[in-house]
Amino acid sequence: MATSKLIPPHGSDKLKILMLEGAEKGAELKRAESLPKVVMSSRETGDLIMLGIGGFTPLDGFMGQKDWKGVCEHMKLANGVFWPIPVTLSHDSKIEPGTDFALISGETNEIMGTMKVTESYQIDKKFECQHVFTTTDDAHPGVKMVMAQKDWNIAGPVKVLSESYFPEKFGDIYQRPAESREIFEEKGWKTIAALQLRNPMHRSHEYLAKIAVEVSDGLYIHQLVGGLKPGDIPADVRVNCINTLVDNYFVKDRVVTGGYPLDMRYAGPREGLLHAVFRQNFGCTHMIIGRDHAGVGDYYGPFDAQEIFFKLWDGALECKMLPIDWTFWCYKCGGMASMKTCPHGKDDRLFLSGTALRKALSEGGDVPAEFSRPEVLKILREYYASLKDEDKVEVKMHGHATGDAKKK
């Protein structure tokens, strides 16, 4: 068998896939039915699936206290391997080591896996939030998520039994690292840039993507299909928008689209690093980092997610950053441009953001033709028109969405 020319998985020479199959899966599922149960949050369930499919290689389960503390403080596991965000499972009481649990999705009540507890420990939640999110403000959705965790964390190796509804609901969009790697191998790609998406692609996203295509063998448009905060556009609508854009405005042989099952943490710079870690596991050599990557509100500077990559130590991460400056539509240039290419002033520029687009559409406002492709706008207008008043969420603007935020 020919040696792979793709980048190796993070911290390992092969994917660590914890998903059981066949008779082994059937036997473990039968055993799980008689075990005590731990009900997982949506975020924990997504993390478990990523452990199962190899997306979180080289982890073998939920983190113990030394790993948790090392990741929070120094972005290192206890063994020295780089990891930027804790992957933990919370429980309401202390558990004796050696205890076996069935892991249950709180959303679907399905048995998702099993876990043998090696450790249970309490954490300082504000300590975690300050290090990971750089804030303890409860208004931050990631902080809110951590503060809502139960009092104890339980750690240990896992066996994963299900990918929940993701394969059925999202079809070919939902991909495992082994599948994306096989596609890249078949195409003969060596350099692959990943574009992270949690919003439908507007013209800035399209511009970033096409810059990446110019300097890489191929582009992996990799969208989150897990949980988002209220007011964000649902995954199925976004998938439809992205597919429509790719079908009409990209060269097919240069783009692969995929989806992954995590919830957003909105951790800004740290989440940008996590995105690069698991994109390496999916086979990508580069991670596109633009303005306010994985941010929320004004908690982070517009390019903090780029700055944190420059601070990594040698050998921390093989997947490299592809940094791209603030992009916008310039009326004088007559097209998309960036701060590096456009000499004109703010009055000549239309700053594009998912927040601004959601706000305009949710309020029934006008959307400039330069903001997004007409095929995409049609899908989004139909989605917002279908919402009942009680389902609508006020979209608040912030400096990163208007061009008012300053580069630190």
DSSP string computed for 335-379: EEEETTT----GGGEEE--HHHHHHHHHTT----TTTS-HHHHHH
Q: Which residues are catalytic?
A: 198-199
d(CA 165, CA 104): 14
**From the CB of residue 241, how many other CB atoms can be counted at a distance below 10 Å?**
26
Helix (H) or strand (E) holding 71: helix 65-74
Q: What φ, ψ does residue 383 adopt, rounded to 5°?
A: -65, -50
Rg, C-alpha atoms of the chain: 21
| Tally of CB atoms within 10 A around 382 | 11
Q: Which residues pair with 351 in a beta bridge?
A: 328
Terminal Cα distance for the chain, rounded: 49
Using DSSP bridges, classify how beta strands 192-197 and 255-260 pair: parallel, antiparallel or unpaired. unpaired
Instruction: State the amino acid at position 206 in one-letter form.
Output: E
- Under DSSP, the state recorded for 391 is G
For the record, the structure tokens of 195 come out as 């574009």
The residue type at 202? H
3-state secondary structure of 57: coil
Strand partners, 115: 101, 158
The dihedral through the CA atoms of 208, 210, 216, 218 has a sign that is: positive
Q: Which residues of 264-275 are buried (b: 16+ CB within 10 A; e: fewer)?
A: bbbbbbbbbbbb
CA 202 – CA 106 distance, rounded (Å): 33
How far is it, in rounded angstroms, from Cα 133 to Cα 130?
A: 6
